[in-house]
Amino acid sequence: MKIDVTDVARTFGRQTRAYAEYRIFSSLARFSDVVREAAVSLTPAAKGHTVVCSVLVGFEGGMPVRITARGRHAYDAINRVAHRIGPAVHRHTQVALAS
Protein backbone atom coordinates (compact mmCIF):
# COMPACT_ATOMS: atom_id res chain seq x y z
CA MET A 1 0.00 0.00 0.00
CA LYS A 2 1.36 3.39 -1.00
CA ILE A 3 0.58 6.58 0.94
CA ASP A 4 1.29 9.80 -0.96
CA VAL A 5 1.12 13.04 1.03
CA THR A 6 1.36 15.86 -1.50
CA ASP A 7 2.81 19.30 -0.78
CA VAL A 8 1.96 19.16 2.94
CA ALA A 9 5.53 19.81 4.07
CA ARG A 10 5.74 22.99 2.00
CA THR A 11 2.80 24.62 3.80
CA PHE A 12 2.58 22.82 7.14
CA GLY A 13 6.07 21.36 7.75
CA ARG A 14 7.74 17.95 7.61
CA GLN A 15 6.46 16.91 11.03
CA THR A 16 2.84 17.43 9.92
CA ARG A 17 3.54 15.45 6.74
CA ALA A 18 4.96 12.56 8.77
CA TYR A 19 1.98 12.67 11.15
CA ALA A 20 -0.46 12.54 8.22
CA GLU A 21 1.37 9.54 6.72
CA TYR A 22 1.30 7.73 10.06
CA ARG A 23 -2.38 8.40 10.84
CA ILE A 24 -3.64 7.52 7.37
CA PHE A 25 -1.51 4.38 7.13
CA SER A 26 -2.64 3.16 10.56
CA SER A 27 -6.29 3.81 9.64
CA LEU A 28 -5.95 1.83 6.40
CA ALA A 29 -3.75 -1.01 7.69
CA ARG A 30 -6.66 -3.37 8.38
CA PHE A 31 -7.76 -2.93 4.75
CA SER A 32 -4.33 -3.66 3.25
CA ASP A 33 -5.69 -6.58 1.20
CA VAL A 34 -7.95 -4.30 -0.84
CA VAL A 35 -6.35 -0.83 -0.66
CA ARG A 36 -3.74 -0.09 -3.31
CA GLU A 37 -2.92 3.54 -2.52
CA ALA A 38 -4.01 6.69 -0.74
CA ALA A 39 -3.37 10.29 -1.75
CA VAL A 40 -3.55 12.80 1.10
CA SER A 41 -3.89 16.56 0.71
CA LEU A 42 -4.04 19.22 3.38
CA THR A 43 -5.12 22.76 2.55
CA PRO A 44 -6.01 25.85 4.55
CA ALA A 45 -9.66 26.83 4.09
CA ALA A 46 -10.45 30.07 2.29
CA LYS A 47 -10.98 32.15 5.40
CA GLY A 48 -7.91 30.73 7.11
CA HIS A 49 -9.72 29.61 10.26
CA THR A 50 -9.82 25.91 9.38
CA VAL A 51 -7.85 23.29 7.50
CA VAL A 52 -9.27 20.68 5.12
CA CYS A 53 -7.76 17.19 4.91
CA SER A 54 -8.80 15.04 1.96
CA VAL A 55 -7.85 11.42 1.28
CA LEU A 56 -8.46 9.64 -2.00
CA VAL A 57 -8.29 5.87 -1.43
CA GLY A 58 -7.64 3.65 -4.45
CA PHE A 59 -8.61 -0.03 -4.41
CA GLU A 60 -7.47 -3.13 -6.24
CA GLY A 61 -9.87 -3.32 -9.17
CA GLY A 62 -12.38 -0.78 -7.90
CA MET A 63 -13.49 2.83 -7.92
CA PRO A 64 -11.70 5.18 -5.50
CA VAL A 65 -13.34 6.76 -2.45
CA ARG A 66 -12.71 10.31 -1.21
CA ILE A 67 -12.91 11.09 2.51
CA THR A 68 -12.74 14.73 3.60
CA ALA A 69 -12.73 16.45 6.99
CA ARG A 70 -12.33 20.00 8.24
CA GLY A 71 -10.50 20.85 11.47
CA ARG A 72 -9.44 23.83 13.56
CA HIS A 73 -5.81 23.12 12.65
CA ALA A 74 -3.88 20.58 10.54
CA TYR A 75 -3.67 17.86 13.20
CA ASP A 76 -7.38 18.17 13.97
CA ALA A 77 -8.28 17.77 10.28
CA ILE A 78 -5.95 14.77 9.94
CA ASN A 79 -7.42 13.09 13.03
CA ARG A 80 -11.00 13.67 11.85
CA VAL A 81 -10.37 12.19 8.41
CA ALA A 82 -8.50 9.25 9.98
CA HIS A 83 -11.59 8.45 12.09
CA ARG A 84 -13.82 8.53 8.99
CA ILE A 85 -11.65 6.26 6.83
CA GLY A 86 -12.61 2.93 8.43
CA PRO A 87 -16.39 3.28 8.05
CA ALA A 88 -16.06 4.74 4.53
CA VAL A 89 -13.80 1.93 3.28
CA HIS A 90 -16.01 -0.66 4.99
CA ARG A 91 -19.12 0.69 3.21
CA HIS A 92 -17.29 0.65 -0.11
CA THR A 93 -15.67 -2.79 0.16
CA GLN A 94 -17.67 -4.66 2.82
CA VAL A 95 -14.38 -5.68 4.47
CA ALA A 96 -15.12 -6.24 8.16
CA LEU A 97 -14.17 -3.58 10.67
CA ALA A 98 -11.96 -4.77 13.54
CA SER A 99 -13.76 -4.86 16.87
**Residue 60, domain CATH:** 3.30.160.100
Please tell me the predicted confidence (pLDDT) of residue 60.
Answer: 86
Q: What's the number of domains the chain is made of?
A: 1
At residue 98, the pLDDT reads 58
Domain carrying residue 25: 2-93
CA-CA distance, 44 to 21, in Å (whole number)?
18
Instruction: Please check whether residue 9 lies inside any domain of the structure.
Output: yes
pTM strictly above 0.75: yes
Which DSSP symbol is given to 47? Answer: T
Residue 99 lies in a domain: no
Q: What pairs with residue 52 in β-bridges? A: 43, 70
The pLDDT score that the predictor gives to residue 38 is 96
CB atoms within 10 A of CB 65: 18
pLDDT by residue for the chain (99 residues), tens digit each? 899 988 777 788 899 999 999 999 999 999 988 999 999 999 887 776 899 999 999 998 888 999 999 999 999 999 999 999 999 998 888 766 554
